[in-house]
């Protein structure tokens, strides 16, 4: 999980992928029970005799890197730490099974804070039929750290990887995009702008006229409490709709590049079709960038991006059973030499670099 | 994994057990596929159709809490992080399968340091037939943190828990005890004593007469490079020798109490039978405490403590196939009301509190 929308994030992503490649070159060829190793949302293991494949994902959240403590409650933080892990299972169509929780706890954390963390995790785990069954805790000299590992199950034929997209496939996305990044931007501005009590003049003037406070709260909740799309992922995978899938953790442009790289394809993304919430529209005048910046590059939405064979498109749209979850067709897959491009509102094709940074422009 | 031999460790242990109990009270009763949940060395899961049970353990190592960077190389640190996780699989008789590695990396870590970390893990993983197949990495504002999760397999009938010991069982331990704690003490004294260059007088006088440098290096290696007793644990479990087992991470006295608590039994430990290495004996004159302090309370040995039914004792001793691994009978199991006691060299029975701290005295 990466923080959204800064140049530093871009650099980190680049270095992390480099590191991953170097590390992979050190490792031996995995044993035959390893169906999918490093490089997808989950590792996939085939255990002797088991009906289902075992899927495993691990994600860590570190204070000052992935979150600041004052931006959510401990219960919300516990919820989110598990939600982002479950999102990886969702992206491959798996059912959650078990959760392992490792925590580094600074001494300033009270027992009640730790209980609240576990309460947030437990409520989400219970609601998806998974159990917290192990972990480790340690004192920490400085930051709070949560490292979660989730196990899930999926029928071997229904495990969806990043690598299965084919030219001609349609690209679909669940939910709306960019809300979490916009919500985080407002939370960060609250940090840098002086509080009302310290600045009576600002307090007297209040927030700018028309500032949509309820809407901003709504966007902040999308950042704090992402909903892992487990049912949707399972349905897309088991119905044979998704040829490739991943969850949007680092922003659509970055994650689309990951899907394209894994599948060795290119893509066309139609800017006008990217789903944005009414909350994002309502907050537009108060954001630092245009709304398309958030929908294209904003991280931490944890929505699903799926490639769907063209012949399955009509059935998918006719049978989509999730009334509360938007499903939008946002583009299509092309051969690799045609690259990853955005179709603008003026219907021009523009190269779409991951994260919107020029130094990531595809070769 | 806890640091050995300080009052602070005792307090942390007490709080950690309290925390574990509070957390467990928040969690729902696990789903039926969870055979063993929180409280043993590994969680045990029964997957539909699978021949073996799946065993999962997770352990974290945090700079300044569990290690200091200058006390070992990055490669040794990587080795150790995996070794202590594998030791949990050994304690339940499982074969290692897959490893997940999550790292928080401070910016002062060079790419070559990170490669060395993975090299240490990879060499050990390969040697035990396991693959590193996933993980997560993050930048860290301050400390280095390694959070590993290991998966293993064991036949359902051969999974050994902490809870199976019965009065009359004999207590056995592999290897020698206290070496790691003694090694750590020497490493820590090197930190607090001024280096030779800053103190020419000390340099001139050199180490005290007869200081056994080679022996100290040997003890330090036991701290840096613990050997997970996978073959021994597997043999004890699959041969039906161990009724209960755990690995000695926090010191014999503390871990024996854990085994007794889980099995609802008491124990007698014969001080004179505790196995100590010739290295520990050779270093005795230069240690802060008597050698029995290290054998009884020193942490991080990662040897196995097993309860063995009395009628299996002769067969065990006759068939033990590991010529390079000492196996010592060190006591026996008694009914719970008889408590956990040490039989001293003078053949007196003394209450044995975990960690040697009075505030842990059993009720």
In this predicted model, what pLDDT tens digit does every residue of B153-171 receive, in sequence order?
999 999 999 999 999 999 9
The four Cα atoms A215, A217, A223, A226 give a dihedral, to 10 degrees, of: -80
Confidence check: pLDDT of B135 > 50:
yes
8 A C-beta contact, residue A237 and residue A159: yes
Question: Diameter of chain B by CA atoms?
Answer: 70
Q: A56, B22: Cβ pair inside 8 Å?
A: no
Q: A43, B100: Cβ pair inside 8 Å?
A: yes
Check if CATH label 3.60.15.10 holds for domain A35-156: no
Q: Pick the residue with more confidence: A6 or B254?
A: B254
| Report for A141-145, B197-201, B329-333: range of highest mean pLDDT | B329-333
Quote the pLDDT of residue B333.
98
Cα–Cα distances (Å) from B351 to A212, B266, B268, B357, in that order, read 67, 11, 10, 11
8 A C-beta contact, residue A349 and residue A268: yes
Q: Pick the residue with more confidence: A253 or B211?
A: A253
Q: A50, B45: Cβ pair inside 8 Å?
A: no
* Residue of A37, A102, A125 with shortest CB distance to B60: A102
Q: Pick the residue with more confidence: B7 or B246?
A: B246
The DSSP bridge partners found for residue A344 are none
Quote the pLDDT of residue B9.
39
Q: Which of A101, A124, A139 to mutate to test the interface with B (most CBs of B within 10 A)?
A: A139
Quote the pLDDT of residue A312.
97
* Mean pLDDT value of segment A282-291: 92
pLDDT per position as a tens digit, B104-127: 999 889 889 999 999 999 999 999
pLDDT per position as a tens digit, B79-98: 999 999 999 999 999 999 99
8 A C-beta contact, residue B221 and residue B82: no
The tokens 């929780």 sit on which residue?
Answer: A101
Quote the pLDDT of residue A359.
31
Instruction: Give the tokens for residue A47.
Output: 């255990």
Confidence of residue B11 (pLDDT cuts 50, 70, 90): very low
Q: B114, A19: Cβ pair inside 8 Å?
A: yes
Q: Which residues contact A39 (CB under 8 A, 6 or more apart)?
A: A20, A24, A162, A262
Give percent of chain A above pLDDT 70: 89
What is the homologous superfamily of the domain B31-158 according to CATH? PurM-like, N-terminal domain (3.30.1330.10)
Distance CA B43, CA B38 (A): 6
Quote the pLDDT of residue B355.
80
Partners of A88 on chain B (C-beta within 8 Å) are none
Query: Where in chain B do CATH 3.30.1330.10 domains reside?
Result: 31-158
pTM for the model stands at 0.89
Query: Where in chain A do CATH 3.90.650.10 domains reside?
Result: 162-184+224-360
- Least Cα separation, residue A249 to chain B (angstroms): 13
Partners of B84 on chain A (C-beta within 8 Å) are none
Confidence check: pLDDT of A10 > 70:
no
Check if CATH label 3.90.920.20 holds for domain A162-184+224-360: no
* Mean pLDDT value of segment A112-130: 95
Partners of B111 on chain A (C-beta within 8 Å) are 19, 22
Topology of domain B162-178+226-360, per CATH?
Phosphoribosyl-aminoimidazole Synthetase; Chain A, domain 2 (3.90.650)
pLDDT per position as a tens digit, A176-214: 999 999 999 999 988 776 554 444 554 455 566 677 889
Quote the pLDDT of residue A15.
64
pLDDT per position as a tens digit, A348-358: 999 998 884 33
Quote the pLDDT of residue B335.
98
pLDDT per position as a tens digit, A296-347: 999 999 999 999 999 999 999 999 999 999 999 999 999 999 999 999 999 9
Q: Which residues contact A228 (CB under 8 A, 6 or more apart)?
A: A83, A84, A86, A87, A89, A90, A128, A247, A302
Instruction: Give the tokens for residue A304.
Output: 């699903």
CB contacts < 8 A (A, B): 219
Q: For chain B, give the mean pLDDT.
A: 88
Q: 3-class DSSP state for residue B121? A: helix
Phi-psi sector, B39: left (phi>0), alpha (psi -120 to 50), beta: left
Q: B122, A26: Cβ pair inside 8 Å?
A: yes
Q: Are strands A349-351 and B34-36 parallel, antiparallel or unpaired?
A: unpaired
Confidence check: pLDDT of B78 > 60:
yes
Partners of B156 on chain A (C-beta within 8 Å) are none
Distance CA B84, CA B58 (A): 9
DSSP character at residue B38: B
Lowest mean per-residue pLDDT among A122-136, B14-28, B193-207: B193-207
Query: Where in chain A do CATH 3.30.1330.10 domains reside?
Result: 35-156
* Mean pLDDT value of segment A99-107: 93
Query: Where in chain B do CATH 3.90.650.10 domains reside?
Result: 162-178+226-360
Q: B118, A23: Cβ pair inside 8 Å?
A: yes
Q: A115, B57: Cβ pair inside 8 Å?
A: no
Write the secondary structure of chain A as one string of H (helix), E (strand) and C (coil): CCCCCCHHHHHHHHHHHHHHHHHHHHCCCCCCCEEECECECCEEECCCCCCCEEEEEEEEEEECCCECHHHCCHHHHHHHHHHHHHHHHHHCCCEEEEEEEEEEEECCCCHHHHHHHHHHHHHHHHHCCCEEEEEEEEEECCCCEEEEEEEEEECHHHCCCHHHCCCCCEEEEECCCCHHHHHHHHHHHHHHCCCHHHCHHHHHHCCCCCCCHHHHHHHHHHHHCCCCCHHHHHHHHHCCCCCEEEECCCCHHHHHHHHHHHHCCEEEEEHHHCCCCHHHHHHHHHCCCCHHHHHHHCCCCCCEEEEECHHHHHHHHHHCCCCCCCEEEEEEEECHHHCEEEECCCCCEEECCHHHCHHHCCC
* Mean pLDDT value of segment A203-229: 83
Confidence of residue B207 (pLDDT cuts 50, 70, 90): low
* Mean pLDDT value of segment A8-22: 60
Quote the pLDDT of residue B206.
57
- Least Cα separation, residue A106 to chain B (angstroms): 11
Confidence check: pLDDT of B200 > 60:
no
Confidence of residue B1 (pLDDT cuts 50, 70, 90): very low
Partners of A42 on chain B (C-beta within 8 Å) are 134
Confidence check: pLDDT of B142 > 60:
yes
List of E strands, B219-273: 244-247, 266-270
Q: A100, B56: Cβ pair inside 8 Å?
A: yes
* Residue of A37, A111, A143 with shortest CB distance to B133: A37
Partners of A62 on chain B (C-beta within 8 Å) are 104, 138, 140-141
* Residue of B31, B51, B138 with shortest CB distance to A131: B31
Q: Which of A2, A15, A58, A96 to mutate to test the interface with B (most CBs of B within 10 A)?
A: A58
Q: Pick the residue with more confidence: B63 or A202?
A: B63
Closest by CA to B52, choosing from B129, B152, B132, B126, is: B152
pLDDT per position as a tens digit, B40-58: 888 999 999 999 999 999 9
Q: Chain A residue with minimal CA distance to B11?
A: A139
Question: Diameter of chain A by CA atoms?
Answer: 71
* Mean pLDDT value of segment A48-58: 95
* Residue of A57, A64, A115 with shortest CB distance to B141: A64
Q: B111, A22: Cβ pair inside 8 Å?
A: yes
Confidence of residue B34 (pLDDT cuts 50, 70, 90): confident
């Amino acid at each position: 999980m990466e923080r959204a929308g800064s140049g530093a994030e871009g650099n980190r992503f680049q270095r992390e992928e480099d590191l991953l490649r170097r590390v992979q070159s050190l490792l031996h060829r995995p044993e035959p029970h390893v169906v999918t190793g490093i490089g997808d949302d989950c590792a996939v293991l085939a255990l002797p005799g088991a009906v289902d494949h075992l899927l495993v994902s691990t994600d860590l959240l570190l204070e000052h890197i992935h979150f600041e403590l004052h931006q959510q409650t401990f219960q919300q933080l516990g919820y989110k730490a598990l939600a982002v892990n479950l999102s990886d299972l969702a992206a491959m169509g798996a059912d959650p099974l078990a959760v392992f929780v490792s925590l580094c706890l600074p001494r300033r954390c009270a027992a009640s804070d730790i209980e609240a963390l576990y309460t947030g995790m437990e409520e989400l785990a219970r609601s998806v039929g998974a159990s917290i069954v192990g972990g480790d805790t340690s004192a920490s000299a400085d930051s709070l750290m949560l490292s979660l590992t989730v196990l899930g199950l999926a029928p071997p034929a229904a495990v969806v990887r990043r690598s299965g997209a084919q030219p001609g496939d349609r690209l679909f996305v669940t939910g709306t995009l960019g809300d979490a990044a916009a919500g985080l931007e407002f939370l960060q501005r609250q940090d840098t702008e002086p509080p009302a009590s310290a600045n009576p003049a600002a307090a007297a003037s209040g927030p700018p006229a028309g500032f949509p406070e309820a809407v901003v709260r709504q966007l902040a909740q999308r950042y704090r409490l992402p909903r892992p799309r487990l049912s949707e992922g399972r349905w897309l995978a088991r119905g044979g709709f998704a040829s490739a899938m991943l969850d949007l953790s680092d922003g659509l442009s970055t994650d689309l590049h990951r899907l394209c790289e894994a599948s060795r394809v290119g893509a066309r993304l139609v800017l006008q079709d990217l789903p944005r919430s009414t909350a994002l529209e309502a907050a537009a005048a108060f954001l630092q960038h245009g709304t398309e910046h958030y929908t294209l590059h904003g991280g931490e939405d944890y929505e699903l991006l799926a490639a769907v064979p063209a012949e399955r498109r009509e059935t998918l749209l006719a049978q989509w059973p999730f009334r509360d979850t938007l499903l939008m067709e946002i583009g299509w897959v092309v051969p690799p030499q045609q690259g990853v491009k955005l179709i603008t509102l003026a219907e021009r094709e523009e190269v779409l670099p991951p994260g919107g940074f020029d130094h990531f422009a595809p070769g």
